[in-house]
Structures are given as C-alpha cells and as structure tokens.
Structure 1
C-alpha cells in the first residue's frame, strides 16, 4: 500500500497532503460541516470567506442584505472561526481559513489567536463591490503593495500563507505572483477564469510557490491538464460534490501509482512549463529549449553541467545507447523511444521509477532557476 507522501510527495504546513484535491472557499457555504461531508476525498479545505474586521463585516452584511448571495455573519470573528477550526482539527486534512480583512493588523489578530494550526488564506479574489470598497478582495490585486504588507505581517508570525487571486485583474499577473513570492507567501491559489493553461504556465514559470488551480475542474482530463501545466493541486468550489471529488481522488491516485509523477509536465516542445527541462535533450539544435534557457538566465553550458552533475551516481547517469549517452537527456515515458526503454530494461529501472527520478531532477533544476528571491526591480 503506497502512503500519501510516497504517492504525491506533497506537504503543506509541515503536514502530508493525502490527495492533491482541495475545496475552495465559498462565502456563506463552505464551513466545517460542508468539509466534514467531503473529508474522505480531499487533502485541503479552505473554509470561508470570513470577514475579520468591522469594514469587511459591514460589507458582508451589505452583500447579504438583498438575499441573492450568502455570507457568514457574526459579531465576533475569532469566536466564529475558533468553533469551525475546532471541528476540523481531528481530520487528516489541511485546514485553510480564507480571510477578508482590510489591514495587516486584522490578519495578525487572527494569526495570534490560532497560531500555526491552519493555513491563512488572504482573500484577494472577491469582486463584490462592497468588499472591494472595504479594502479587501480584488482591492489587493490593484494595490499589490497593500497585499505585500499583509503577507509580510502574517509571515512575521511564522504561519503558512496562501493568497487567493483571480487572473486578469492585476496589471500583470506574472509581476503580481513574483511580488507574492518575494513577500514570503507559501501558496498561490489561482482562479484561472477563462484564461486556462496559458496563464497557469506563465504563473508556474514566474515563481516556485505551491500552486492550486481553480475553475471548472470537474473531470480527470481537466485535472490532469491543470497539473501538467504547473499546478500542484486543483480546487473545486460550486461543483465540489462528494461524487465528483471521489472520482477525481480515485483517478489521480491510480495515475500516480502507475506513472510515478502525478503532475508531470508536458514536454517543453509541446507547451510544457519549465519543470519540463528535466525531459529536454542536449541544447544542440534550435528548438523551444534555447529561448527557454535564455528567459530563465541559464547558459547552455550551465544547463548541461547542472543536469549531468545532478544525475551523477544515480540510475539516470547511465544510458550509453541513448541519443546523448545518459538518461538525463531522455524524454517523458508517454513519448515512444526504443533506446530509452531498452536502457531502462537493461538497468532494471521501471518507467514509474524513471519518472520519479525525473521529478527529482526537475526539483533540482527548479531550485536553481528560483534560487534567488527577485529584487524589487525584477519583481
């Protein structure tokens, strides 16, 4: 029986994530009771959104006033949050609390109350006019310096921080996510709207943070599409019914157990993100590899040296009969290659183990690409 870490290799807030499926917050709907009904098929649950100061609580009441939208309404946000967190503590999943606040101090008060037990998700996503006017939700996407201040205030309390964003609102989403990374956040939870995998790939190529992709992900094909373009997890909101979650959970577990790398990227020449450098061959011809190396600031010689040094002494070091005499340069198992497969058979290396090793190589490459937090100028 494969354990969750062996299957997915995912951790959040120093805890193993049992499946790369999350429930996204929906104000007035997603609370502890909602999560408890779905607990068997998710790894992360973001409850909320919860208004946490007077401006946002007033906004929540205004939004709920005409009865067309639900909100969580209360007089004491800490009391309300505490009751929900307590109900979820016994579960083997990671709890995130999606918070709508108008100042760093508001978020800090919550972090001081609940400490490191939960992930604090800054709601920079809500587009309801009263909430934006209160200085929350999409207000942060148009005022990223204020968002940075909130992230830094939370990280000063040594807690895990997620930022829920909506693409297409900030002036440049790539610049935004680099600011979020620089400020110290741990997770970007991104509503892709209608932008799809192109925007997701841009975000993956702009930061090393854990990415949760959200928006209309209800089939395994759609889930794999998100995972193969940069997502670490996917989240569901309106369609997070038990049957859909159970089906996705079972399908991604089967895929991981068979393939070895549950969110393996498409190859670079087929539209993959930069994690796919692990599958690229020697830089000896004009192909998508060359401009990709230029964009990330790695020379051809450094790329060659990085891959060869990383695989030295590992099963990927061998392969005299492959195109470039090492499995370091070989492609994804979904691409037919008799030379790669002959080498794997000779070395007694399964395709699943080969892909696991390729993931380790990719992790090393990504660490090199994102070794330095960007400066103010580059962010």
Structure 2
C-alpha cells in the first residue's frame, strides 16, 4: 500500500502539500485535509473557524484537492486526502480526482467537533453504518484507494463489526485512532483484511512495536508530524528487522 509503513495523519487546516513534503524523507504516505466538501460541512467548518480552529475553506474544494495532489505527483510518498461530507455527489468528484493522481480518498468518520457532529458528519457516521457504507461504496466506484478514518471508544460502536461492513462496501484501508484502547487494533485485524493503519500516541519504538504486535500494517502520526525527531525514531523502529513481517 505504501512504504515505509509510516503515514502522516491529517490535521485540520494544516495538512497541505507543503506540510507533507517537509516530512517526505521519513514517511510513505501523507493524508491531507480534512477538507469539507459540501455546503453543510463547509458551514460547520466556518463555525469552527469562528472559534479559532484552523480549517481549509477554499472556494472550490475539489479543485483545491486537485492542486494539492498535483504538487505531490513527483513526491516519493503516497498522497491521500481526508474528506468530510454529508452528500455523495462531491464525494464522487473528490474520489475521481484522487484516482487520477493515484491517491487515497479517506472518508472522515473521525472528527468529534460538535459543529461537524451536529450536521451528521465525522464521528456520527460511526453510528450510521448504512450511510457510511454508502459513502465508501460511492467513493469506490471511482476507483481510488479508499480509506476510512475511525476512532475507538465511541459508545455503542463495535469497530470490528463496522470494519467488516466497510470492507464489504469497498474500503481498502482502515485508519484507526485507537484512543486509549490499543488492543482494539487486534480486534479489527481479526475482523477484516483491510490494510490497517494504527493511530494515536505513536512516538517511538515501544509504541510502534505494540501496534505491529496487535496486527497493524502501518502506523500514523498526527500532532508530531512536524517533529523530525519523532518521525526519525518511528521510522527507525519500522525499519528494524524485528518489525518486518
């Protein structure tokens, strides 16, 4: 899927092509975004900006995705784009653009900001399995590699059961924020054959080895993505002979 098995996880309003290129020597993939695709999620994103969060709010989100991916076409890393939406049409367009660049389209079922959850985006999709599976299937129609970013510790949500449903719908990658429940990675691994990216607290050899032991295919870093010392430690751990399988 990508090598080395280290990805940069998207950071709201910060993760663009320049951000990815800064860490290119360490990583195999970088998820840009998140990008609000439709009017509903864009309104929610503006509300987030109003309370001092950073968000990408280009005039044309799909054109923005195309420009950012074009800037990475010659890079050694594999690009991905994390997107938020409540409607399918712009999702299909974003998926088409990702496919044209050989990039990963990542459906965001992860954000827990109140404004996004209130409109039915982000984490709320974890409880709306039918709609999330519909989004995955719609994206897969355009033939990009499809990822879904999810999180653990959401009341009433079984990630292993969800993983099976999303794999059937066409997901190639599950990008799992384990929160404080790292063993959930093993449960998801046993439930599906998707490429599994483990996220949360990845900082050093110990955390890398833990996630690999649970069955992760790769790991991702978020907040430390601009810290070369952290990225170097994680990359060295992933390159160690005992980490290869």
TM over 0.5: yes
C-alpha deviation, 1:114, in angstroms: 4.0
Contact in 1 for aligned 2:6/2:28 (Cα 8 Å): yes
SS in 2 for 1:146: helix
Contact in 2 for aligned 1:50/1:98 (Cα 8 Å): yes
Aligned to 1:99: 83
Contact in 1 for aligned 2:80/2:104 (Cα 8 Å): yes
Aligned to 1:262: 244
Aligned to 1:154: 139
Q: Which runs of 4+ in 1 moved over 3 A?
A: none
Residues 350-361 of structure 1 mapped to structure 2, 5 A cutoff = none
Pair member with larger Rg: 1
Aligned to 1:72: 56
SS in 2 for 1:139: helix
Aligned to 1:46: 31
Bigger strand fraction: 2
Contact in 1 for aligned 2:10/2:31 (Cα 8 Å): yes
Separation in 2, partners of 1:109, 1:20: 28
2:108 to 120, 123, 126: 123
C-alpha deviation, 1:115, in angstroms: 2.6
TM-score (norm 1): 0.62
Contact in 2 for aligned 1:122/1:163 (Cα 8 Å): yes
Aligned to 1:189: 175
Q: Which has the higher contact order (CA 8 A, sep 6+)?
A: 2
Aligned to 1:235: 220
Alpha-carbon displacement from aligned partner over 1:126-166 (angstroms, at most 9, x marks no partner): 01111112221012101010000011111111221000001
1:30 to 9, 15, 33: 15
Gaps spanning 5+ residues in structure 2: where?
none
Give the number of equivalent residue pairs: 242
TM-score (norm 2): 0.95
Contact in 1 for aligned 2:96/2:143 (Cα 8 Å): no
Separation in 1, partners of 2:191, 2:51: 41
Separation in 2, partners of 1:158, 1:113: 10
Aligned to 1:329: none
Change (3 A) 1:156 1:63: same
Separation in 2, partners of 1:126, 1:211: 19
Separation in 2, partners of 1:187, 1:77: 23
Gaps spanning 5+ residues in structure 1: where?
1-11, 264-379
1:62 to 47, 58, 64: 47
RMSD: 1.3
Aligned to 1:164: 149
Separation in 2, partners of 1:187, 1:111: 14
